[in-house]
Amino acid sequence: LGNGPCNPAGGFLTLYQGSAAQAADYRIIKNLHITHVVNATTNCPDAFPNILSYLRLRLSDDAQQDLVEALPLASRFINTVLKTEPAGRVLVHCSMGRSRSSALTLAFLMEHRHWSLLHALRWLKERRACTAPNVNFLRQLLTYEEQLFGSRLTSLDDIRR
């Protein structure tokens, strides 16, 4: 799963990001003790619907895809799983594990860790070098940041440096 798990809160490693191939690999699911999956692909089926709980978001990785409903939905799903006792383990995936899954993970970090988009993006890239939300998703995340914090804390120029 790239450079490893996302662990913004310290403690147990409970939030992972990856590709559809990784999400369909039972050894990975078992070894990481994954309990919940956010599937952000348009056409990859949920690999283990009888054993795992899924949030299915049919998202396209393109300039037309609107994330206005998907960002808070995924963020709430992840937060609920991580806050339950015992805490579940979430894998957020799209086809390649780069754009859609990154956008959803960033929304979670912004909303539930209260991080600016720039801080969340830098943190995630340190742990997952292939993190690369498309520019449409970045623009929507900037709008989401403004909704969450009441003002825009990050600019597109900050991100592109």
Active site residue 130: no
Q: Which position among 6, 44, 94, 130 bears the catalytic label?
A: 94
Residue 136 parent element (H or E): helix 135-149
Query: Considering only CA atoms, which of 81, 80, 32, 125 is closest in space to residue 117?
Result: 125
Give the whole-angstrom CA distance, residue 121 versus residue 89: 21
Q: What are phi and psi of 6, to 5 degrees?
A: -90, 125
Q: How far apart are CA 40 and CA 70, in angstroms?
A: 9
**Sequence-ordered list of residues with C-beta below 8 angstroms from that of 8, at least 6 positions apart, any chain:** 15, 109, 113, 115, 123
Residues classed as catalytic: 94
